[in-house]
């Protein structure tokens, strides 16, 4: 591979090649600025190789320096005759290296992140509602005087009417849910049939007794059927009398 510069034909091994970092340090610019010059003025800058392996001959330093002066003039940098008015002496004397520039950018980014986080926390604190004490179903049962199984039944059948938070065993109820539970109990009492004074437990006992009587009758029928089958299966003796 050969490189032509200043009218002379030389091989790559005969010339001194610089990395982009070395170019930035030589002309006293930051690495991001050097990368920007590389992308914007690629046609003007002599280079060898591609990508990260791209290197620059000594002639490229002059091109980078010229690009730097052109960009400074575009920014309207104050001339020396004006005494650098508008720029503090400390900024004129200070020369930042690429590492210092990167460190300062990281510090500024961390400061902006902390500022945004603090602003989010303050906004969340302003809109955060006051905490409300939520009740378990056991506490609802104790406050309303309704049995726990009945409360479970109300939850299964009328969950859309009862204010709640969460699901399953983690379901909790605000204090105003006690009013809804009391209303459900009053509605269930008003809807009870007249004359049905028997409690559910007594009705259940009557059903159990009836089932036992049916089972007893079934056993008796089974024994009778077994007797009939034995009689049918017994041998039949026939006696014929001749006159």
- 10-residue block means of pLDDT along the chain (243 residues)? 50 73 90 89 87 86 90 63 46 60 80 84 66 85 93 92 90 93 85 53 84 91 90 80 72
Q: What is the dihedral of CA 203, 205, 207, 212, to 10 degrees?
A: -170
pLDDT at residue 16, as a whole number: 80
Cα separation, 37 vs 42, in Å, equals 8
pLDDT at residue 162, as a whole number: 93
pLDDT at residue 175, as a whole number: 93
Name which of 58, 33, 60 is nearest 45 in CA terms.
60
Name which of 30, 27, 21 is nearest 96 in CA terms.
30
Name which of 181, 121, 124 is nearest 151 in CA terms.
181
In contact, 167 and 204? CB cutoff 8 Å: no
Q: Encoding tokens for residue 176?
A: 């105003």
Q: Would the pTM of this model clear 0.75, i.e. be above it?
A: no
């Amino acid at each position: 591979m050969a490189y032509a510069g200043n009218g002379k034909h030389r091989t790559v091994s005969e010339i001194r090649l610089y990395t982009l970092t070395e170019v930035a340090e030589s002309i006293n610019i930051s690495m991001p600025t050097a990368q920007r010059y590389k992308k914007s003025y690629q046609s003007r800058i002599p280079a060898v190789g591609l990508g990260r392996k791209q290197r620059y001959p000594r002639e490229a330093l002059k091109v980078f320096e010229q690009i730097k002066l052109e960009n400074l003039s575009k920014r309207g940098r104050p001339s020396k005759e004006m005494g650098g008015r508008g720029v503090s002496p400390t900024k004129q004397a200070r020369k930042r290296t690429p590492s210092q520039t990167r460190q300062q950018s990281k510090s500024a980014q961390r400061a902006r992140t902390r500022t945004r986080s603090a602003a989010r926390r303050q906004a969340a604190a302003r809109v955060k509602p006051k905490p409300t004490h939520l009740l378990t179903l056991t506490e609802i049962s104790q406050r309303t005087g309704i049995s726990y199984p009945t409360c479970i039944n109300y939850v299964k059948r009328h969950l859309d009417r009862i204010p709640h938070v969460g699901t399953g065993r983690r379901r909790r109820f605000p204090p105003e849910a006690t009013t809804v539970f009391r209303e459900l109990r009053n509605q269930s009492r008003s809807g009870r049939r007249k004359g049905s004074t028997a409690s559910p437990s007594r009705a259940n006992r009557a059903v159990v007794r009836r089932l036992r009587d049916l089972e007893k009758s079934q056993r008796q029928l089974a024994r009778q059927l077994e007797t009939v089958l034995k009689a049918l299966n017994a041998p039949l003796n026939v006696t014929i009398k001749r006159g």
